[in-house]
Structure 1
Amino acid sequence: MATIPLATNFDGDFVLKLLPIDSANTMDELAAAAAENVIGIHVHDQPGKTLRVRKQGAAEPYARATTVAEAALEPTECVEIYFE
């Protein structure tokens, strides 16, 4: 496993954040890690809603169990995190 820095764009936040994430982490784990730096600080929590991850500009999110390695995300590539 390797640490990959990804740019994260959390829906409702006003700034991109660089998040170091392990290539073995799933999209759910990536979303949870990104949420730690945003929910309750820049974005209100939405209990009962699921966080989803998609590549910036993509219409569909990744499957929740897809790993960062399986998604073939490159260092500093941007992903969008949003409540579904």
Structure 2
Amino acid sequence: MALFPLISNFQYDFVLQLLPVDSDNTMDEIAAAAAHHSVGRRVAPRPGKVVRVRRQGASEFFARDCRLSDTDVRPMETLEFIFCEG
């Protein structure tokens, strides 16, 4: 377990956010942390949608139960948080 800084690029948000997470967090936990800083502030809630995580510019999402420590994501890398069907 270690503090791990990421950059959040949340869908429909115009602000990139510094997102401190834990290296043992799952992608769902990281998505929830990113949503906390964007949804209801600058991004409208999207009931029934799930927020998925991918590298900036990638087309494939990380598995929702994948732990950050099991990826090759680097500190301060930008991740995209996208609303998807539940």
Calculate the TM-score normalised by the size of structure 1. 0.97
Q: Distance in 2 between matches of 1:29 and 1:72?
A: 17
Instruction: Specify the code of the residue in structure 2 equivalent to 1:70.
Output: D
Q: Distance in 1 between matches of 2:56 and 2:71?
A: 13
Identity %: 51
User: How big is the shift at 1:73?
Assistant: 1.3
Instruction: Specify the code of the residue in structure 2 equivalent to 1:68.
Output: L
Give 1:27's aligned residue: 27
Q: Distance in 2 between matches of 1:35 and 1:80?
A: 11
Q: Distance in 2 between matches of 1:42 and 1:82?
A: 14
Unaligned runs of 5+ in 1: none
Q: Deviations over 1:12-61 (max 9, x none)?
A: 00011000100000000000001111111110000111110001111010
Q: Distance in 1 between matches of 2:32 and 2:72?
A: 19
Instruction: Specify the code of the residue in structure 2 equivalent to 1:2.
Output: A
Q: Distance in 2 between matches of 1:67 and 1:56?
A: 18
1:33 partner SS: helix
Give 1:12's aligned residue: 12
Aligned residues: 84
Q: Indicate the RMSD between aligned Cα atoms, in angstroms.
A: 0.6
Unaligned runs of 5+ in 2: none
User: How big is the shift at 1:3?
Assistant: 0.8
Calculate the TM-score normalised by the size of structure 2. 0.95
More helix by share: 2
